[in-house]
Structure 1
Amino acid sequence: MTILPALGITLTTFAFMEFWAWFMHKFVQHGPLWFLHRSHHVRHPHPVERNDLFFLIYGGISAALFITGDDGGRWWFWVGVGIAAYGTVYFFVHDVLIHGRLRFWKKSKHPYLRALNMAHKTHHKTDGRDGSQEFGLLWVSPKYLRLARQQAAAKQEKIKSTVE
């Protein structure tokens, strides 16, 4: 397969995974598979939670697509690349930046990443299965982007006024 179709399949899969993650989170993880996802909504001292099984499931699907994808010769190999790329971004944004499961990436000052963090905190305001909002990862509601930009501007104004 040539590079252009491979890139197209990979990027399309990556974009689709945001919708898929939202759908699965809202209707499956907060639905019939709540018994696995619940571990993510309660505080616990463990480094691993039942919710991490979802990462293994998608990793397994991606690996199967790689293995059977004829080293990039079959279109589904590139679907596996898109799933793996989304999973990698998901890990760094959700697990590392937002939840701090690894301590090498501190809270970001970038308005978009701050907005993602705010939206996720809104999602975690409830520890139950029902009543949560904001189920996506990379797409963030414009209200959080506005709030993050306002906070950044207010912080800059405060810094500016203390310097003068």
Structure 2
Amino acid sequence: MKVLLNILIGISSFASMEAVAWLAHKYLMHGFLWGLHKDHHHKEHYGVLEHNDFFFLIFATPGMACLAIGIYTTANYALFIGIGISLYGLCYFLVHDIFIHQRIKLFRNSNNSYLLGIRRAHKVHHKHLGKEHGECFGMLWVPKKFFKEKKNQVS
């Protein structure tokens, strides 16, 4: 029973991170932390990294802290919270940085309607170059309308 509870904690932590990412993206990155996020919309960076990449450290810190607490104390649940947060971070990197933005040239083409919908929603998000009037702040869960478009409309 304890194993099932730990798995449920990990899955819940993973799913909760989508809400955390959405809220942080909308209210922090497109709010008072726009200075760090701006180059992601404008491509004003030089080289491989963007200022926006510092958000990785911000989001990774709670996951690493939970992993450490779970490993070095008797708070076993913290380990599974850390695993859920870390797995979300891995998915974010794979979907956002590799699949959508092609920062590493892998997974260029897909016929998967879910992945194409995510890519469409992200393109809509990036059409706004300023911090105002943004839409589609999520990464894994986006509005249904992006999954209903025909595949031949995707570039």
Quote the offset at 1:70 in angstroms: 2.9
Quote the offset at 1:131 in angstroms: 1.2
Quote the offset at 1:132 in angstroms: 1.2
1:133-159 CA-to-partner distances (Å, cap 9, x unmatched) read: 100001121111000xx226x99xxxx
Quote the offset at 1:73 in angstroms: 5.0
Partner of 1:92: 94
Give the TM-score normalised by structure 2: 0.91
Quote the offset at 1:126 in angstroms: 1.2
Q: Which amino acid aligns with 1:3?
A: V
Per mean C-alpha deviation after superposition, the further-off stretch among 3-12 and 68-77 is: 68-77
8 Å Cα contact 1:96/1:105 also seen in 2 = yes
Give the TM-score normalised by structure 1: 0.86
Partner of 1:52: 53
Aligned partners of 2:141 and 2:67: how far apart in 1? 27
Aligned partners of 2:122 and 2:113: how far apart in 1? 14
1:123 aligns with 2:125: yes
2:82 to 73, 80, 85: 80
Q: Which amino acid aligns with 1:77?
A: L
Partner SS state of residue 103, structure 1: coil
Return structure 1 stretches of 4+ with deviation > 6 angstroms: none
Identify unmatched segments of 5+ residues in structure 1.
156-164
Q: Based on CA coordinates, which of the two structures has the bigger radius of gyration?
A: 1
1:60-118 CA-to-partner distances (Å, cap 9, x unmatched) read: 22111111113685211111101000000000000000000011221322111011000
Share of identical aligned residues, percent?
A: 38
Instruction: Name the Cα RMSD after superposition.
Output: 1.9
Aligned partners of 1:35 and 1:5: how far apart in 2? 40
Q: How does 1:9-158 map to 2 (within 5 A)?
A: 9-43=9-43, 44-70=45-71, 74-147=76-149, 150-151=150-151
Aligned partners of 2:110 and 2:135: how far apart in 1? 22
8 Å Cα contact 2:69/2:75 also seen in 1 = no
